[in-house]
Amino acid sequence: MPHAYKLYINGKWVNSESGETFTKSNPATLEKIGEFQKGNEKDVDKAVDAAEDAFDSWSETPAPKRGEILFKAGQLLKENKEELAKTITTEMGKVLVESRGDVQEAIDMTFLMAGEGRRFFGKTTTSELKNKFAMAIRRPLGVVGLITPWNFPIAIPSWKIMPALICGNTVVFKPSSDTPLCAIKFVELLEKAGVPKGVVNLVTGPGSTTGMSLVKNKKVRAISFTGHRDTGEEILKIAGIKKVSLELGGKNPIIIMDDADLNLAVDGVIWGGYGTTGQRCTATSRVIIHEKIKNKFEKMLVERVKKLKLGNGLDKGVDIGPLVNQAAQNKSKSYVDIGLKEGAKLLIGGHIPKIKGFFFEPTLFSDCSINMRIAQEEIFGPIVSLIEAKNLENAIEIANSVEYGLSSAIYTNNIRNAFIAIEKLEAGLTYVNASTIGSEVHLPFGGVKQSGTTREGGWTAIEEFSELKTVYFDYSGRLQKAQIDN
């Protein structure tokens, strides 16, 4: 029998009020990993109440002291990096080296936010009146609901939980049902680090019930969600008057100009398009290639794709692990069929291999047009579309032709091309001579258009998880009237 795991509410590991559980399997081997609680609205309400009860004490704890607890959590993440990485690979499939990077991102974010406990900056300014002082200070929001995806099951929770905690908020954490064990391991380390009871609460279960109960709860002051665009739209409709942060994916382009280092560009496309089996919100799903080098680049890229090895992410020499589940596998296959019907040219891949697990061949289409669905819709699988461009202006037009605007990249040795791309590409991130993935924790992360509303990471994470209070201190000893007395 697989091990049975519990919810974490008010400092205790407990069963769900529903009395129901669900199982999770390894996507590479299909072996059962564990049995997890199917949380419901009652569980969410209990978790929110616990967070509300813990808020005063936690928010009144000086931010540097909160930072000390986060620093301990960072040390524990560092000490347990290999175990956590293996849990990630076992639970969602990506290769071990990438899982180690997932954990390292959480370590970096935790130490960064620990330090922010001594940098909780506001602003002072002058008053228009004599003997009057004016400033703005940062205050916590209250109880925050954090809903995270499965593709970065340690990193993304850290991007939300750590800034939320350092700002003095208390947390109800709802992870993806595809990676509940990673969430449990993460919370266990927070508990060990000394996070007080009620400050962090964990409820596993379906997004449609557990997640939406969290969104609807009137005691929850803010929601931070990373996931599918349709879910983000639903959250906005039902959240009410809450602060809502959304990161909703992308259809990210790499532009390759005729003056680019093609070997470097191939490296970038392989890493961006097929790393994490294409299951990143910043994955490279479109390659916009200058017409002068299209044929040469295609041949180079196909040769590299041929060498990619599928397999269990825990095994040595494996480049690409499985997709997270059968639905993702079927979705990738359906988009290959769509691409072929639309007239795209399949250069390599496109099939479900005849091996155990939810694997899919790394796939490359050429001769794509901007109106094709494979060039417009987020697939979240190892499928890359090549689109030809006449010049930089045309390439940027193609890049901006989608509803999303998360990440983008350009390969060029012409500084003018680079700066025009930085200015004109409609995206929250632009890389020059690097792939569309590789964000660092001390810089803002997020997109424009339908890629979301948030800028988590770096100093902007503090802004997302706090609010400003303006303070006026009049020491004149008499009634002064702003604007009127001025």
Q: Which residues are part of the catalytic machinery?
A: 247, 281
DSSP letter at 482 equals T
- Cβ-proximal residues to 314 (8 Å cutoff; 6+ apart), any chain: 28, 86, 89, 90, 96
Tell which phi-psi region holds residue 50, choosing left (phi > 0), alpha (psi between -120 and 50) or beta.
Answer: alpha
Phi, psi (5° rounding) for residue 140? -65, 160
- On whether the CB atoms of residues 346 and 359 are closer than 8 A, the answer is no
3-state secondary structure of 287: strand
One DSSP character per residue, 343-402 reads T-EEEE--S--SSSSS----EEEES--TTSGGGTS---SSEEEEEEESSHHHHHHHHTTS
Token pair belonging to 283: 């994955």
| Residue found under tokens 């071990």 | 96
Closest residue by Cα to residue 441 from 105, 78, 121? 105
Token pair belonging to 419: 């700066």
- On whether the CB atoms of residues 3 and 180 are closer than 8 A, the answer is no
| Residue found under tokens 């559980």 | 21
Instruction: Provide the greatest CA pair distance for the chain.
Output: 83
3-state secondary structure of 281: coil
d(CA 199, CA 59): 10
Closest residue by Cα to residue 147 from 224, 76, 72, 233? 224
Burial (CB count <10 Å: 0-12, 13-18, 19+), residue 188 = middle
d(CA 151, CA 276): 8
d(CA 463, CA 191): 26
Q: How many helices (H) and strands (E) does the chain have?
A: 14, 19
Scored b (16 or more CB within 10 A) or e, 143-156 reads bbbbbbbbbbbbbb
Looking at the DSSP bridge assignments, the partners of residue 21 are 37
Burial (CB count <10 Å: 0-12, 13-18, 19+), residue 83 = exposed
3-state secondary structure of 223: strand
